Amino acid sequence: MLFFTSSKVTPCPLERNLRLVCYSEDALTNILEMHADIVNREEFKEFLVGRKLPYGALPVAHRYGGHQYGLWAGQLGDGRAHILGEYVNGYGDRWQIQLKGSGQTPYARVYDGRAVLRSMLREMVASEACHFLGIPTTRSAGLVGNDETVIRDMYHNGNVRREKAAVLLRLATCWFRFGSLEILARSGEIGVLKQLADFIIKEHFQDIHLTDDNRFIRLFSEISHRTLDLVAKWQGLGFTHGLLNTDNMSILGLTLNFGPFGFVDSYDGGFVANASDGEGRYALGKQPDVVLWNIGQLANALKPLLTSSQQLHLAHVVKTLDGYCKNKILETFLMKIGLKEDRWGDEQLVEKLLDMMQQTGADFTATFRQLAELEPKEMASEAKLVEKWSLKRLSSHPFWSCWLDQYRDRLEKEAGKYLI
């Protein structure tokens, strides 16, 4: 099915003086089932840059569209990436292998098809970090560079400079995204849209039966809930994607395309990771609303496949998603402060904590960690707070004592229930 929405194109490998910059031993050994010593072989570097392709590989660049900054951007696609094929490992897991920075494709715009070492290194580190933090994500297996340089305007301010090129080996169970369906609906390719949606169900949502008349509504619901589960993970770990266009939204609820991302340090709901996002559309605190809007565009893409009554059903599903998203994020933060169940007043408890963190500049990660390191009775002790630098900063807020009383009372009530 990938060939209906892609173009066959051969990678343009980097030449000479190839250097293995870094690799993920976990991805290579546990996903691709390669021996760890393979990183010492020249042919491994040649594989990573697209010069030596696996037997049976048929490289393609995927075509998709997308809404960027809330506006329809038309046809996009893999302008500098090549999907080499699918690998089924010994666990029966299917992984699609992709090279990024491996040359121009028919979907390239004004650029040269190359990627720079700076951004590929960031993606390599970030995707693997997200995986081990428990955030659903694409994976990065290896990164190769050489002496070739490309011209880039890093800050989009007219100050161009030469940067070293690199190619990244990326892995995902599927590279389809919201924009894969949007482009077909927008261009009136309804027959292909139906084929693709059925293919996605068959390959990735096998609990949905292809004979089910409501299968596309079920597909939408599954994709939406996986995506909102992902957003809750992002919010709980202070991860800001930075460029939540619909072409960067995975249909499997994976973190896709690490461009201007960032993990917040001192908590700030207005934190913007993207220097090009002058209006702060993709700020940390706005991510849930933006993703819900993106899900609405996915719903629009699926509408041509639905009857009038099914479209009403779809609209009802869409209306439930805002509540689901808020509940999932609340559940995530309650777990971070040691609470297992949702009770009346918990939303305000979490909101007040985040407000105090933002106003005092308390560290996002350290605050939750240090709360977990203290017994409830120790949290009001000045001597104990001196040892917990982020909580010490948080305690300077005038509402700290009031919040702490509410929090300890809440802990005691829940603990009492589980002691009965």
Q: Compute the Cα dihedral for 235, 241, 245, 248 and give only its sign.
A: negative
Provide CB contacts within 8 A for 99, sequence distance 6+: 11, 48, 49, 50, 81, 82, 84, 167, 168, 169, 170
Q: Active-site residues: which are they?
A: 247
Long-range contacts of 315-320 (CB under 8 A, 24+ apart): 317/217, 317/220, 317/221, 317/224, 318/224
- For residue 299, what are its two tokens? 């719903």
pLDDT reported for residue 112: 77
Type of residue found at 389: W
101 to each of 11, 170, 231, 253, how far by Cα in Å? 9, 11, 28, 24
**Cα–Cα distance between 6 and 109 in angstroms, integer?**
16
Provide CB contacts within 8 A for 17, sequence distance 6+: 146, 147
pLDDT reported for residue 420: 40
**Cα–Cα distance between 196 and 178 in angstroms, integer?**
12
Chain position carrying tokens 């933090």: 133
- For residue 35, what are its two tokens? 């021996």
Backbone angles phi, psi at 84, to 5 degrees: -85, -25
pLDDT reported for residue 419: 42
- For residue 158, what are its two tokens? 């007219």
pTM of the model: 0.93
pLDDT reported for residue 324: 98
- Rounded to a whole number of angstroms, the CA Rg of the chain reads 23
pLDDT in tens, the chain (420 residues): 555 688 999 999 998 899 999 999 999 999 999 998 999 999 999 999 999 998 888 999 999 999 999 999 999 999 999 999 999 999 999 999 999 999 999 998 767 789 999 999 999 999 999 999 999 999 999 999 998 888 776 666 667 788 899 999 999 999 999 999 999 999 999 999 999 999 999 999 999 999 999 999 999 999 999 999 999 999 999 999 999 999 999 999 999 999 899 999 999 999 999 988 889 999 999 999 999 999 999 999 999 999 999 999 999 999 999 999 999 999 999 999 999 988 999 999 999 999 999 999 999 999 999 999 999 888 888 888 888 999 999 999 999 999 999 999 999 988 765 444
**Cα–Cα distance between 399 and 284 in angstroms, integer?**
24
What is the secondary structure of 298-311 as a DSSP string? HHHHHGGGS-HHHH
CA 84 to chain centre: 22
CA-CA-CA-CA dihedral for 330, 335, 340, 341, to nearest 10: -10
